[in-house]
Amino acid sequence: MAAPFEVMVGRIETLAVDVIVNAANRQLAPGTGVDGAIRAAASPALTAHTNALPGLDEGEAVLTPGFNLPAGHIIHTAAPVWAEDGDEGQKIAGLAGCYMSAIKLARMHNLTSIAFPCLGAGNYGWPRGFACAIAIAACEQALEQAPEIQRVIFCCFTEDDAQIYRAALS
């Protein structure tokens, strides 16, 4: 069976899916970019909720309610920063872990549709094509253990990013 991938251009905080994935920082503190947009749309209750949670290691994920979002839930995951010192293989494993942890968490909570932003490709500086290849490979691997997931959306902020995903999936 082919993976249930979709590529779209849009704002992830507007999607009516079971769960959207937030590009969070390790402290789960308010940030900019995807995180800022999700928090603004979800309501201050999201920050109050994440303030009570422990931080994340790179590649880990945690589930929260969606609050005022069309999505019922949010999975927060922390990607490694590409430009920081460290082993490249560990960074790749960390970014792949973000996708794999999110899919595993969605499966554990019986969620069947999940939308990802381009994790790591914004403020964290990952080369977009490289991050895309890691995203697709990690999702394909995780979906082998999660056949219940019927939709995996790569929600890109720009058409240029969407073209990278479409090319990689074709």
pLDDT at 125: 94
Q: What integer best gives the mean pLDDT of the chain?
A: 96
HSE (side-chain half, CA atoms, 13 Å) at 124 = 27
CATH code, domain carrying 92? 3.40.220.10
Distance CA 5, CA 138 (A): 12
Q: What 3-state class would DSSP assign to 24?
A: strand
Per the CB < 8 A criterion, the answer to whether 21 and 77 are in contact is: yes
Q: Which percentage of the chain shows pLDDT scores above 90?
A: 96
Return the active site residues: 35
Reported as a single tens digit per residue, the pLDDT across 108-123 is 999 999 999 999 998 8
Q: Which residue has the tokens 């969407």?
A: 162
pLDDT at 1: 40
Number of domains, the chain: 1
pLDDT at 2: 57
16 secondary structure, DSSP code: -
Residue 27 has pLDDT above 90, yes or no: yes
pLDDT, mean of residues 37-51: 97
Domain that holds residue 141: 5-169
Counting every residue, how long is the chain? 170
34-50 as b/e, with b when 16 or more CB fall inside 10 Å? bbebbbebbeeebeebb
Residue 31's contacts (CB-CB under 8 Å, 6 or more residues apart) are 23, 24, 25, 123
